Amino acid sequence: MDLTGKVAIITGSGGVGCGRAIARRFALEGCSVVVSDIAEPGGHETVRLIETERGRAAFIRADMAKESDIKALIEFAEKTYGGLDVLVNNASPPYRPQGLLDHWFDAIQADLQGAMHAILHAVPAMRKRNGGAIVSMGSTSAIGHGLKHSKSPGYDIAKMGLIRLTTTLAPLQASDGIRVNCLVPAWIASPEVQSYVDSLTPQQRKEGSVPEVLITLDEIASAVVHLATDESLAGRLMLYFNSQSPRLIPQGDPGFTC
């Protein structure tokens, strides 16, 4: 897919992390970008940065835990730019690892249910354009069994749901020309994570299995653009571990065949 002249929604793009980096990259690739977040000042700042780089962007406040906001978000893209070609499900509430039984539904409502509602409302809009691409953000903490999960079960459950949702929506490519893929990254160098890592001693990093090198925001943006534009990819998961190149889970993997 050539992104020139396309319309992309990037949810959760009003902060200083992945969403803003992804929004800016899509604008540089020629997209008109709809910036979406609950943080209005941050959303307007993302638009300002894109416009400074001679891109096109508009902001709408949308809470991904509310279906009415999501519906309005899709309608805003169609009204403002004439349609929708790309949806990036990036929005996620603040990570809260206070306890195993805390904050389950904050993550599930925004990360999983929000993405599901966004896909359901985006598909009819993309049908009008004869196809499109959807990329969701998973996490390596949601894969494996009892090894290196995060300290927030709700977060991991939501991300695992996005991973499975991606593979089960692969048939949308044949039926509607809509490709659904998922990026599954490890530790990302967002300002919050970088600050946390920098606060640790070498021994604490070792005990917590904290990687020496974090994935940069630009690297994340590049991977998302690749998943959105490579027309051979549908229902695929791209793993991105620290200090490794991103790689697709093979279609012959037991997770695809069993």
Question: Rounded to two decimals, what is the model's pTM?
Answer: 0.94
Helix, strand, coil percentages (3-state) for the chain, rounded to 5, are: 45, 15, 40
Asked whether residue 1 is assigned to any structural domain, the reply reads no
Which segments within 31-162 are labelled E, that is strand? 32-37, 56-61, 86-89, 132-137
**226 located within any domain:** yes
pLDDT at residue 152, as a whole number: 79
CATH number at residue 226: 3.40.50.720
Q: What is the pLDDT of residues 100-146, one digit of tens each?
A: 787 788 889 989 999 999 999 999 999 999 999 999 999 998 886 65
Q: Average pLDDT for residues 143-163, to the nearest whole number?
A: 80
Please report which confidence band the pLDDT of residue 97 belongs to, taking 50, 70 and 90 as the band edges: low
In a domain, 2, yes or no: no
Q: Output phi, psi for 124, to 5 deg.
A: -60, -35
Tell me the average pLDDT of the chain.
92
User: From residue 201, how far is each of 105, 196, 197, 210 by CA, in Å?
Assistant: 33, 11, 9, 11
Question: Looking at the 3D structure of the chain, how many domains does it have?
Answer: 1
Question: Is residue 52 in some structural domain?
Answer: yes
| CA–CA separation, 26 and 4 (whole Å) | 9
In a domain, 154, yes or no: yes
The pLDDT tens digits for 11-53 are 999 999 999 999 999 999 999 999 999 999 999 999 999 999 9
Spatial separation of the C-alpha atoms in residues 84 and 103, rounded to whole Å: 32
Residue 257 lies in a domain: no
Domain of 205 in residue numbering reads as 7-252
